[in-house]
Structure 1
């Protein structure tokens, strides 16, 4: 069994046994200092790694999947399924046809970020001394998930400083804050916010999770929140001097943790922020179109076939994105067999367990065994991830021109066929 296949299997099994979602497993044995007479019995294993033979007859499974794919609820349907142990594509339907993928686009964004930044990448947001006495400047660095606890900590670090003005410097990113083709109504609907390189909980108003209305002034909101905490009276945008003294700093979660939240909640703001972070790290333009192009460029550098693929954002919010199911499946297969992309598997929602799949798979065998990224736009549904049975499969299903709820149900049933085989 190749590296990564065991990891995917173990996480799926653990989700069923103990109900823990999205948790990677890293076992380390540390030396203990204790009296020689003290002994600890070895714990009973909760699960066994999947062992699959190299040879298998997938004829019956192919037939079942072909029958499921003919379901009229799926509209214009394309897909691909692969066995991770052998790399064999065991079923496909128009796998090289570019289709509208919705939020399945985030699989590309995550893979490019892992290649460029690494799973342990973090973002440091500094508060520095401004050019004018009594002024502090937040040097925005791309962290769009600042919490109220982090703001409290920054304020505590500024205790004793004579500050009457808090500014925020957003110059690290492009001045373009809203991509062409996006609908401004989606800000108030909770799906996106103006893209500025520092926000409180993705710019949400009234909470930290879910599709809550988003602010129209995310960076200024951070400056105002910090000013309130330290008793400063004035806020605004400004420039942080290059060699300014750092007064306070805070660090984001690592990239794997941020990708998990992005995937579980299908958070468009986080996806676009991670795309821009990747571009900034490469020294490339950070506007939406350029950062999306860089995502494709990085995947090409790692020998993925992007024939017919075109994306104009990193979140999948645009109706102009076109991705083939073969590319989605190729990335997932690479994640199951390659250490660099392996963290991507731990970010995927678990069927019936968490995130965008928490309310799905109620009566299906795939509950707890399917891990997948969803995608939803008007007349568009996508599902791409892994299924653990006696083998581990990767799959990518995309339905265009269909009723969303009906297509979801049909794809959930189709993924469950893999679990039952």
Structure 2
């Protein structure tokens, strides 16, 4: 029964998101010097039900609710022409019962739903508290410092300010950067170079400012073509150094300054919220480097599948060539996506994968969706969008208190109509 506390508390987490939309109004109307009482506190609710899937016990069929009407609804929705070529699956987490499926074992183009695989592997291999330390080392020549890139692709302006402050008072005229921790290519052959200026990807290097964005810290802003050199230049500008470049440190050097990244939990939440391709690829490379494996995108994709296979997931017909879902060559089954989400609802190691997912009509890539739908505030899901491709995979608490995981993928369809149909389908699970 070791998983009972998480399954129960996962319901509490999901129920709580229903207050996000209304709660935003309260936040905006308070906190400006007005006198108000201390915030209310409540005790954590007791677990609402037992472990979702327990191979050591047999579920009592009589205790399982009747999903017949829900199955019929989902089947009818799956035939909606807006969904084009459509595959999917929905599961009741408590019983483990598949309440609906349509070709769940068929591998299709998943777009950014691929990031569910990447997040799972990172949590398994690195752990939720993993952080990355970026150091500035003393160079071999007087007046030279070297940034030892360690895999943090989201260095902030504040972190660079911190490094500069730690170097204050030193006579530094040259800032170099060592990117040797990821020696392999950072731009996959299956990506389109035009997507760099479009804001979707960059050459993924082990030190980047806000995932290479130019002019901001979030959204699909144009990305840099020289992200690691940008880090060296940004530090040089702050400390008055005139020369920048690259190098590789081969001997131990004195650490002059350092900064630490957010935890993996925090980075995954940001990756999922923005559906950030650079972060997804960077996190996969971090895993590969920690295991001494090649860090090019094709190799990290192979690593991801190997790790998932080792965890017992069914990878039949699944093939990926990157970890972000930007490539059109990725093929993933709804079954695999849903299996990972169900594990996240029943395993401690993966539990933060669920809380990293955007909230319908509340946050991230779902913020502007679910207008007027019952799933608003209750559905948490990873989106996926490419030409003629729309995906939605996540979790939702129904009105009756059941927790459902689901994975819906539409190929050969117009994006906006398909999105609306997917959101309607997830709302049907909420209505149960």
Residues 43, 225 of structure 1: CA spacing in aligned structure 2 closer, same or farther, 3 A cutoff?
A: closer
Give 1:37's aligned residue: none
Instruction: Give yes or no for the alignment of 1:395 onto 2:406.
Output: yes
User: For residues 148-159 of structure 1, what are the structure 2 equivalents within 5 Å?
Assistant: 148-159=157-168
| 1:296 correspondence with 2:305 | yes
Q: 205, 221, 237: which is aligned to 2:214? A: 205
- The 1-side partners of 2:396 and 2:195 are apart by 33
Aligned: 1:168 with 2:177:
yes
Tell me which of 206, 216, 226 is aligned to 2:225: 216
The number of aligned residues is 403
Whether contact under 8 Å (1:4, 1:337) holds in the other structure is yes
Aligned 8 A contact 2:21 2:361 in 1: no
Q: How far does the alpha carbon of each residue in 1:262-311 deviate from its partner, in whole angstroms, 9 at most, with x for none?
A: 00000000000000001011111111100011000100010000010000
Write out aligned runs for 1:33-44 (5 A): 43-44=41-42
Q: Which residue of 1 aligns with 2:83?
A: 74
Deviation at residue 44 of structure 1 after TM alignment? 4.9
- Superposed displacement of residue 19, structure 1: 4.2
- Structure 2: segments with no counterpart, 5+ residues: 24-37, 51-61
Q: Which residue of structure 2 lines up, in the alignment, with residue 229 of structure 1?
A: 238
Q: State the alpha-carbon separation in 2 of the partners of residues 8 and 348 from structure 1.
A: 13
**2:100 aligned partner:** 91
**TM-score scaled by structure 1?**
0.93
- What aligned pairs does 1:253-264 form with structure 2 within 5 A after superposition? 253-264=262-273
Q: Give the CA RMSD over aligned residues.
A: 1.9
Seen in structure 2, the aligned counterparts of structure 1 residues 18 and 98 have a Cα distance that, compared at 3 Å, is closer
- Other-structure match for 1:271: 280
Q: Write the distance in 2 (CA, Å) between the matches of 1:42 and 1:162.
A: 53
Q: In 1, distance between residues paired with 2:218 and 2:285?
A: 21
Task: Map Cα deviations across residues 298-336 of structure 1 (whole Å, 9 max, x no partner).
Answer: 000100000100000000000000000000000000000
Residue 281, structure 1, aligned to residue 282, structure 2: no
Contact 1:4/1:335 (8 A) holds in 2: no
Gaps of 5+ in 1: 22-39
State how far apart, in whole Å, the 2-side matches of 1:109 and 1:42 are: 37
